[in-house]
Structure 1
């Protein structure tokens, strides 16, 4: 057909949905458009008016509309195969009336194009044609693009409400065999209400995202919560499989600009759009949006071309070795592989990338831990333990990359719900995954007390409360001290820093004792630590510092003093006490330059210091500390 006479031929292709469905032979495989682009009129006509259809297979990704073809009364006419299981087909899959195909989203287009997964008919929803006769696939390109290329029969609803999107979304009307005019709103996926758990998870993830990062986010409350907490970031980009309302808000706010992207800078790269009517209107003819098929958006090698790629994906459970369950629940298929592995691997290979798995710590109303010793029988592993880097719950972040099983188990137990930590630790001990005397993490880690501080040298340090996963780094710090530094800290020569001692140092209760550690941001370099323990007889915090030799004289001690003072004052301590050798002039300078009044008493070559906070004398007399341990 000559493209110039498309308008003449267009009318010949217009038909009703019932007439179009009659073109579908029995025994064929039918692909239905994805997400919000599900052609509901055609689906309804296929089920209600397609009396001639028997033994037809129906395939698709997640769809938002009804799926009447999976109802029991149609079991001899249609058999559904899910690339990804949605709420509208889950019961049918679990009851055996539909099937599930485990497959990486990045590979589905090639499976379709190569006819390994044959598609005979594609039911689509498209925009009206432009002046050149091209319709747009609108909000769904993903695997639909490959079906358009491979299927012998294409039937499309033409909907003026479908946005005309840019990128690889255009199809000439000469390629379509029947056009069914409709005029109805696209299906919506409103933002999910954010509960406290989602907000806390979103906050932890937001702290992992640097300015200039490129983002991938999936579906659900946690990705929405992450986007809601990025309002103070700058020059973020997008390379994702799904674009949502949260992205639109950050673009309009100037947070997502794409200027720092290293692949398709300035473009919002996505394979499908799902959200509210406002989002669809915003997407219409928006040149910033670049719609691409799933074998582009989800190809790990393509993803990795985005520097600082941050991929955020959900999970149903994670075991103590790092295996991720995301498509099965209780031995039943629940969703699908989707793009999780694609983006986890792509972000891992990105320069400065961060692959993140996020999930609430519990399920079933808090009666079941999602951090599990071993995945439940019948549960499939979607992302292998070798692929996992960061795991995030509302209790914090576990960094598993390059960690052995002992460190992984400790890190994951640390972010498990406190009600399950002792049980998980006991099970880990029974499997010899942790040492027999490994302590259980304290009830709740004070994440809000993490700070980035600029020290006197101009460098930045991350100063945060210690946790049990710091044990090995603490040992390395202590063993790396010079003899002089060791002598000044321990007032004697100390050769050994065994596990039993160090795990107590990094497991404060955050009230009667507190430890803060200083790290070079983005590295595993521990450069300093400060800890206090409340002395029962005085109510003061007995404080001691350690700074790595090559970082001494740069202001690390001063920064640690500032933060430990803030922590102590927040907990109502009246002040500090310390014993410092006369020869330890750098430590004496830190105390004397703290801005606090220092009272010193010299005894046997050692100063006993007391530093009271403003008003500390009165609170000291009123204090009745109990249960403190002086070490």
Structure 2
């Protein structure tokens, strides 16, 4: 016998407890997602909760296992159009839908949705057919080397690993693609850190340290791809909750992940630094992204200095310096307090990694004056990078109540003197007997 029976569909309405954490993580994810990207949104409350913070994006695409309510406003407001997808354009590709009645009604008989089985949707080779594919998923714990636990609390299984590994590997195979793990910095009402020296006993490694690209907490973004263990430690320590940072560094030293004299990141909450992010499009079409120097930039800073020609080093330091020690670079970022002492770095995508191509800084010398200095890679001279850095540092300095910049420049360094003259027509140039020029620049 067949008996006809109807009942309402099961509804799932996810929610999160700490909206401030969601807002800050959503803010950082927004910074990472470009217009036209194709997204996978992982299972869980947090991935669903950060979706409203993508509302200003354009022409996003979706290729994911599960459709949730967080996507509904993005569908309705045409944030998600799927027009830029390489594979199955104009279609949302998914395996299942779980959410409210409103979501079910929107999906029902909607030709935009293309539902297929998991062996198709989760196939890394299928995922990789879309360029600029970004996988966004959550975790329970991350250790200092980048191992991710997302399915168990110790020996207690919390969930399965689901589609996480498939989409992370698919995104890494995608042209311009990458993966993001989002995780609150603490658990149990802030009493324990989710970034840990080692995973809990019994915890499983869902995603290996070799697969991970980016980890985001409410304290920032850690770029993990193609980084050494010591670099990873610094990346993760600076996005851990401030009260756990020193202990994480201590534990990393005990395990010989980092040098014994490694300084811990500041215990400040550096959210305010997000307003000091700038972007400049060069005449060759490439883009340079500027942001404040962080402890995790130590290795790339050394690489930058060693890549410069002898003349550039001489113009900056007034000597032919050959060695840029780890201790020297560590001291540089340790002195940066982002108010009296500020350093901005310029980053450019070169191959699969971002490299430092410019550094500009100011440091208080007393009262309302600060000294400025710059270095730009030689092949990028004449493109306005130093002028852009100077203007950006001026904005920050004025916020911190400085009224004058000064600089000491070799008389033969005409390019730098020209930058100052153009920006500050009323600047004073005082030539000394030692072929140095003291420049005094009142800030407008």
TM-score category of the 2 structures, normalised to the smaller one: over 0.9
Q: Does 1:279 align with 2:103?
A: yes
Q: Does 1:510 align with 2:338?
A: yes
Q: Does 1:234 align with 2:58?
A: yes
Give the corresponding residue for 2:397. 568
Q: Deviation at 1:437?
A: 1.5
CA deviation profile, 1:318-372 (whole Å, cap 9, x unmatched): 0011110111114311112111111111111111111111101111111111110
| Equivalent residues of 2:16, 2:49 under 8 A apart | no
Q: Does 1:204 align with 2:204?
A: no
Q: Does 1:556 align with 2:385?
A: yes
2:288 paired residue among 443, 461, 473: 461
**For 1:535, what is the secondary structure of its paired residue?**
strand
Q: Aligned partners of 1:557 and 1:579: how far apart in 2? A: 15
| Normalised TM-score (structure 1) | 0.67
1:249 paired residue among 68, 73, 76: 73
1:584 paired residue among 413, 419, 437: 413
Counterparts of 1:461-500 in structure 2, within 5 Å, are 461-500=288-327
| Equivalent residues of 1:371, 1:416 under 8 A apart | yes
Give the corresponding residue for 1:342. 166
Q: Aligned partners of 1:430 and 1:192: how far apart in 2? A: 36
Q: Aligned partners of 2:365 and 2:191: how far apart in 1? A: 39
Give the corresponding residue for 1:14. 2
Give the corresponding residue for 2:362. 532
**For 2:360, what is the secondary structure of its paired residue?**
strand
Aligned residues: 437
Q: Which runs of 5+ in 1 are unaligned?
A: 1-12, 16-179, 615-631
Please identify, of 585-594 and 522-531, the stretch whose mean Cα deviation from structure 2 is larger: 522-531
1:258 paired residue among 72, 78, 82: 82
Q: Does 1:608 align with 2:433?
A: no
Counterparts of 1:141-152 in structure 2, within 5 Å, are none
Q: Aligned partners of 1:410 and 1:205: how far apart in 2? A: 20
CA deviation profile, 1:561-582 (whole Å, cap 9, x unmatched): 1111111112222221111111
CA deviation profile, 1:352-399 (whole Å, cap 9, x unmatched): 111111101111111111110011112111111111111111111111
Counterparts of 1:97-136 in structure 2, within 5 Å, are none
Q: Aligned partners of 2:84 and 2:285: how far apart in 1? A: 25
CA deviation profile, 1:115-138 (whole Å, cap 9, x unmatched): xxxxxxxxxxxxxxxxxxxxxxxx
Q: Deviation at 1:474?
A: 1.2
Distance 1:327 1:185, change over 3 A: closer
Q: Deviation at 1:528?
A: 0.4
Distance 1:594 1:224, change over 3 A: farther
Q: Deviation at 1:221?
A: 4.1
CA deviation profile, 1:75-106 (whole Å, cap 9, x unmatched): xxxxxxxxxxxxxxxxxxxxxxxxxxxxxxxx
Q: Deviation at 1:454?
A: 2.6
| Normalised TM-score (structure 2) | 0.94
| Equivalent residues of 1:217, 1:240 under 8 A apart | yes
CA deviation profile, 1:204-254 (whole Å, cap 9, x unmatched): 112111221110102344323432122222211000011122322112212
**For 1:597, what is the secondary structure of its paired residue?**
coil
Q: List structure 1 runs of 4+ shifted beyond 4 angstroms.
A: 190-194, 455-458
| Equivalent residues of 2:14, 2:45 under 8 A apart | no
Distance 1:576 1:395, change over 3 A: same
Q: Which has the larger radius of gyration?
A: 1
Q: Aligned partners of 2:368 and 2:298: how far apart in 1? A: 28
Give the corresponding residue for 1:187. 11
Q: Deviation at 1:297?
A: 1.2
**For 1:506, what is the secondary structure of its paired residue?**
helix
Q: Aligned partners of 2:199 and 2:151: how far apart in 1? A: 12
Q: Which runs of 5+ in 2 are unaligned?
A: none
Give the corresponding residue for 2:262. 438
Q: Does 1:420 align with 2:244?
A: yes
Q: Deviation at 1:521?
A: 4.2
| Equivalent residues of 2:215, 2:221 under 8 A apart | yes
2:118 paired residue among 291, 294, 302: 294
CA deviation profile, 1:424-458 (whole Å, cap 9, x unmatched): 11111111111122111122332332121234665
Please identify, of 400-409 and 226-235, the stretch whose mean Cα deviation from structure 2 is larger: 226-235
Q: Aligned partners of 2:151 and 2:46: how far apart in 1? A: 17
**For 1:426, what is the secondary structure of its paired residue?**
helix
| Equivalent residues of 1:596, 1:612 under 8 A apart | no
